[in-house]
Structure 1
Amino acid sequence: MERQGDFSEEEFRKACAELENPASDGKAWESLVESESCNIYQMLDEQSGFYNYKAFGDFKDCSPSLYAEVYMDLEYRKQWDAYVKELYEKEICGKMVIYWEVKYPFPVSNRDYVYIRDGRDINLNGRMVRVILAKSFSTPEIPEKCGVIRVSDYRQSLVIESNGKEGCKVSMFYHDNPGGTIPSWLVNWIAKNGVPNFLQDIQKACKNYPKKT
């Protein structure tokens, strides 16, 4: 279920501006992955010590509306995302709040997220785009679990638009401070493989979407 009002118009516009240029916004973005269908950039966040990511994908067989619907469908994500341990949505204080526990490989503890999200259609320089924002949300109604580390600093934004044909272009910003102690090999794996794998998995999920007409 999607609710309006959790994010301001300024936040939507800022997300669009942040993703308009892959790595030419005056910041030290480094190219991480380059391929025909996906380009990913990273930049060290000095406050957290972890990287921020920008990803740009071209999905030739997935319309913007289908991509947005699959991304927002939490029940379906439980089927195609192998890293989901638990995922649900509930209303708290008038907001639709999402709980998401992510599987991490042994011996690293699982992480969980409590966040809100919102989607809106925006006219961006004459192009109609779908913008989806998500950010951490704190509430005592979803307490931390023993043995699971709560991620309290999470932000993601997506801009989805037509590629001029039958598919769509997706721009994504991702910031995540996973907390705790994570070995360097796992951080490197997430950087090199996590985001590309997610983009590939959601592309397959779009093709197999049961509500697809």
Structure 2
Amino acid sequence: MPFFTDDVFKDFVKQYKNGNTLFDGWEFYMKNEDYQVYRRPAHDRNPNLYEYRAIGGWKDVRAATLAHVYLDLDFREKWDKNMKSHQRFTVADSANAEDHYDGLHFEIKYPWPLANRDYVYAMEKRVVRDDETSIDYQVILGESLLASSFPQTKGVVRIDTYKQNICLHPTEDGNGCYVFMDYFDDPKGNIPKSVINWAAKTAVPMFINSLKDACKLFEETYPNKVPSLEHTC
């Protein structure tokens, strides 16, 4: 049983395609050679924090490779130095005990003296076909589950406001990809706002660069493994 409906995937593609209003209500935050990042106060989650919207891409990273590497937590152990552990589990639907969906638990290392953080979330991918252009948009949606979905560990802070949505599709030559992403989480704890802002401007670009390097590593390690485009809606 999927956690997200097909309509949610389609709606995120519609947001991306509607370029005229894509950044209404967002303020420009930063950019590098590959991405532009915007932000706005997260009023419905924590008005003291921001949610982020990024747009950009790479000329030499295939869309299918990026989608696969982003979802492959086993492979992530090879390249993400901040990843401590991960585990897949099954969650029973509260409305119907016979229905289940997949959940993920992920623990990330935080720098001393901060405690590690962990996430309990659902993450799923669909391929949304644009009938007018025949473009396949790969969409990955991620959202926190209830904290009670997975046992908490003493000394580890549970992040229960995580959200990350990604829409990507190939460049015209097929060798690269365009990327559109929304992101938010509340790290909790007594972390100064200045530190959170610093992390957003430094750690996020570092992660993006690491993800690009991971895609290169994947294609070098598995040159004949072509990710599939299943779950078209």
TM-score of the two chains, using structure 2 as the length reference? 0.82
2:106 to 92, 95, 100: 100
Larger radius of gyration: 2
State, as a whole percentage, how many aligned pairs show the same letter: 30
Q: Is the aligned partner of 1:28 residue 2:25?
A: yes
Cα offset, 1:198, TM superposition: 1.6
The 1:43/1:20 distance shift into structure 2, 3 A limit, reads farther
The 1:92/1:211 distance shift into structure 2, 3 A limit, reads farther
Q: Is the aligned partner of 1:143 residue 2:151?
A: yes
2: distance between equivalents of 1:45 and 1:174?
A: 11
Give 1:161's aligned residue.
169
1: distance between equivalents of 2:147 and 2:202?
A: 32
1:174 to 172, 183, 187: 183
Letter in 1 for 2:87: Y
Cα offset, 1:24, TM superposition: 3.7
Letter in 2 for 1:92: V
1: distance between equivalents of 2:68 and 2:78?
A: 15
Deviations 1:154-195 (A, max 9, x none): 111110101112111111110112222212332012221222
Give 1:199's aligned residue.
208
Q: Give the conservation status (yes or no) of the 8 Å contact 1:78–1:87.
A: no
For structure 2, which runs of at least 5 residues remain unmatched after alignment? Answer: 93-99, 225-233
1: distance between equivalents of 2:163 and 2:14?
A: 15
The 1:141/1:134 distance shift into structure 2, 3 A limit, reads closer
Cα offset, 1:36, TM superposition: 2.5
Matches within 5 A, 1:1-213: 5-20=2-17, 24-25=21-22, 27-47=24-44, 48=46, 49-93=48-92, 94-124=100-130, 126=133, 127-138=135-146, 140=148, 142-165=150-173, 166-209=175-218, 210-213=221-224
Paired residue secondary structure (1:100): strand
Q: Give the conservation status (yes or no) of the 8 Å contact 2:119–2:158.
A: yes
Range 185-194 or range 26-35, more displaced: 26-35
Cα offset, 1:139, TM superposition: 5.8
Range 110-119 or range 12-21, more displaced: 12-21
Letter in 2 for 1:191: A
Cα offset, 1:22, TM superposition: 6.9
The 1:199/1:26 distance shift into structure 2, 3 A limit, reads closer
The 1:133/1:55 distance shift into structure 2, 3 A limit, reads same
The count of corresponding residues between Structure 1 and Structure 2 is 210
Deviations 1:64-121 (A, max 9, x none): 1111111111111111111111112123333221101111112222211000111111
For structure 1, which runs of at least 5 residues remain unmatched after alignment? Answer: none
Paired residue secondary structure (1:56): strand
Letter in 2 for 1:34: K
